[in-house]
Amino acid sequence: MYISHRSRRQLAKGLLMSSYIPPVTDFRKETEAALSELQETPAILTQRSPPVPPVAVLVDYSSYNAQLKRIEGLELLLDDYALNQAIDNRNRIRNS
């Protein structure tokens, strides 16, 4: 697994969980290795070593598409639920 030297120190401290967090400069130096790791885990990029806020999250394309499809499906379910709630409320008002 590609983990930058700085991130290895953070990992030893228990600060990393499922993602590796390379600074952008480390990612530039080892782009090929980092990109191959995206199939296993997303990359969270920082401009300096953690704990600074991340600047980007990189995921492989198939994971990204799967997330988009899931979000779209959940939005449709939410829309259906909201529509059904509105219909139920209208029916309650009419029957009151």
Residue pointed to by tokens 């991340």: 54
CA dihedral (52, 56, 62, 66) positive or negative: positive
16: tokens are: 């990393």
What confidence category does residue 2 fall into, taking pLDDT thresholds of 50, 70 and 90?
Answer: very low
When divided into structural domains, the chain yields a total of 2
Q: What residues make up the domain containing 91?
A: 60-96
Count of CB atoms within 10 A of residue 21's CB? 24
Q: Are residues 46 and 92 in the same domain?
A: no
Q: Are residues 41 and 68 in the same domain?
A: no
Q: Are residues 48 and 21 in the same domain?
A: yes
In this predicted model, what pLDDT tens digit does every residue of 28-79 receive, in sequence order? Answer: 787 787 778 887 888 777 777 666 777 788 888 998 999 999 999 999 999 9
Q: Are residues 7 and 51 in the same domain?
A: yes
Rounded CA-CA distance 29/33 in Å is 9
Supply angle C-alpha 68, 44, 22, rounded to 5.
155
Q: Are residues 52 and 67 in the same domain?
A: no
pTM for the predicted model, two decimal places: 0.57
